Amino acid sequence: MIIMDYIIDLFINLLSFTWNITKVIIPLMLVMEIFKDLKIIDKISNLIKPATNFLTINEKSGISLIIGIIFGLLFGAGAIIQSTNEHDVDKRSIFLICMFLSLCHAVIEDTLIFGAIGADYLAILGSRIIAAVFTTYVLSKLIKKDFSDISDINICHEHTSYEHNSTNK
Amino acid sequence: MVTLDTFKRGFNNGIKTLIALLKLMVPIYIGVQLLSISGLLSIIATFFTPVMSFFGLPGEASLTLIVGYFSGIYGALGTLAAIKLNAVQATTIAIMTSIAHNLIAETAVIKKLGVSAWASIAVRLFFSILFGFLYYRIFG
């Protein structure tokens, strides 16, 4: 009956694993909905002005940074698109926000999920924030604010060449 | 305004997300178990042990990294449920996969915004490896 014991063991392991995820996901989704309905995002967008200034990102797109950090890359991208429709957001800011969000998005969910299986919350969150702030700061120094900057042209170029390739397929 | 509806939506979203995640994680978990029983996992582990020891991780954790980089956080979790790790190792792999995960799908999103995909992948892999190594060196 070794096989039976093994299957029971596997099942118990799976159940405790599922429970660990459940007790994070359900409260998290509840809090996220409360965040949305209380319009907390709008309220904190004023608070991050020093941060957007430090990273020399367009103030108007700062809100997409917060949305991305809290809710995830997809929501952040949606917010960026919305901000470009409503305001004049330069390509440089979009690039910097994307680099930040690449490293640091959906931090609440990811951190809690890994915390639930025994990893150190602070280390995960801290390393992502340090990596994102460092990268964005260095890039903001490297890429000049001038629109005709070479790196900016490179970004456009890569994008169009990608589109070209995909239509070829 | 927070109403009863807010909580209903939150709860429903939670259940929906949970079901979607379990559909991904349970097959991966069972897959890793099968790999383990068949002995294939130990072959993979032996192969990757030199690389993974760089981060103070057992060879089995290479599976977590590969699944995490390609599929995402929850896929990585599915493999972690089947692999025994201590607290430092769990944190190391958590840092590595939380910085770089789901690279194909998330880079597609980045590309939609007209930003270089390579820049995004490069910084993520760079910091994933750097911070995984640093955490192990400092706390391991």
Mean pLDDT of A12-40: 86
Residues A2 and A75 in one domain: no
d(CA B8, CA B71): 30
Does A16 share its domain with A83? Answer: no
Phi, psi of A71 (to 5 degrees): -95, -20
Structural domain total, chain A: 2
Supply the pTM of this predicted model.
Answer: 0.83
The pLDDT of residue A69 is above 90: yes
Q: Are residues A47 and A96 in the same domain?
A: yes
CB contact under 8 A, B87 and A26: no
Residue with token string 């359900």: A26
Q: What angle do CA A79, A80, A83 make, to 5 degrees?
A: 85
For A134-166, what is each residue's pLDDT tens digit? 999 999 999 877 644 444 444 444 444 444 444
Decide if pLDDT at A107 tops 50: yes
Between A163 and A108, name the one with better pLDDT: A108
Same domain, A19 and A44: no
**pLDDT band with cut points at 50, 70 and 90 for residue A62:** confident
What is the per-residue pLDDT for B93? 96
When pLDDT is averaged across residues B22-48 and rounded to a whole number, the result is 89
> What type of residue is B118?
W
Give the separation between CA B71 and CA B54, rounded to whole angstroms.
23
In tens, the pLDDT along B58-77 reads 999 999 999 999 988 989 99
pLDDT at res. B98: 96
Q: Give me the domain span that covers residue A122.
A: 39-168
Taking 50 as the threshold, does the pLDDT of residue A167 lie above it?
Answer: no
Quote helix, strand, coil % in chain A, to nearest 5. 80, 0, 20
Could you tell me which chain A residue has the CA closest to the CA of B95?
Answer: A124
Q: Are B24 and B74 in contact (CB under 8 A)?
A: yes
Please indicate, yes or no, whether residues A54 and A131 belong to a single structural domain of this protein. yes
Token pair belonging to A67: 């949305």
Rg (alpha carbons) of chain A, rounded to whole number: 21
Distance from C-alpha of B52 to C-alpha of A57, rounded to nearest angstrom: 38
Contact B95, B65 (CB under 8 A): no
User: Which residue does chain B place closest to A81, by CA atoms?
Assistant: B113
User: Quick one: pLDDT at residue B48?
Assistant: 94
Give yes or no: residues A79 and A93 share one domain: yes
Q: Are B81 and A117 in contact (CB < 8 Å)?
A: yes
A99 and A161 together in one domain:
yes
Residue A146, pLDDT score: 60
How confident is the model at residue A163, as a pLDDT? 42
CB-CB neighbors (< 8 A) of B135 in chain A: 123, 127
DSSP string across chain B = ---HHHHHHHHHHHHHHHHHHHHHHHHHHHHHHHHHHHTHHHHHHHHHHHHHHTTT--TTHHHHHHHHHHT-HHHHHHHHHHS---HHHHHHHHHHHHHS-SHHHHHHHHHHTT--HHHHHHHHHHHHHHHHHHHHHHH-
Which of A34, A131, A154 has the CB atom closest to B99's CB atom? A131
On average, the pLDDT of chain B sits at: 92
For A:41-80, CB contacts with B below 8 A are: 73-74, 77, 80
Q: Are residues A23 and A60 in the same domain?
A: no
Preferred mutation among A2, A15, A33, A108 to probe B, highest tally of B CBs within 10 A: A33
Query: How many angstroms from the chain centroid is the CA of residue B19?
Result: 18
According to the model, what pLDDT value does residue B65 have?
94
**DSSP string for residues in A105-143:** -SHHHHHHHHHHTT--HHHHHHHHHHHHHHHHHHHHHHS
Shared domain for A145 and A98, answered yes or no, is yes
- A137 in the same domain as A58: yes
d(CA B135, CA B111): 31
- Statement to judge: residues A34 and A79 lie in one domain: no
Q: What integer is the mean pLDDT of B123-134?
A: 96
Structure tokens at A61: 């797109």
Which residues have a Cβ under 8 Å from the Cβ of A136 and sit 6 or more positions away? A55, A57, A96, A99, A100
Share of chain B above pLDDT 90, in %: 61
The distance between the two most distant Cα atoms of chain B, rounded to a whole number of Å, is 56
State whether A28 and B14 contact (CB < 8 Å). yes
Q: Which of B6, B29, B114 sits opposite A37 (nearest CB)?
A: B6
B1, B15, B114 member nearest A37 (Cβ)? B1
Average pLDDT of span A26-51: 84
CB atoms within 10 A of CB B80: 30
The encoded tokens of residue B53 equal 């020891």
Phi-psi region of A120 (alpha: psi -120 to 50; beta: other; left: phi over 0): beta
Q: Are residues A71 and A7 in the same domain?
A: no
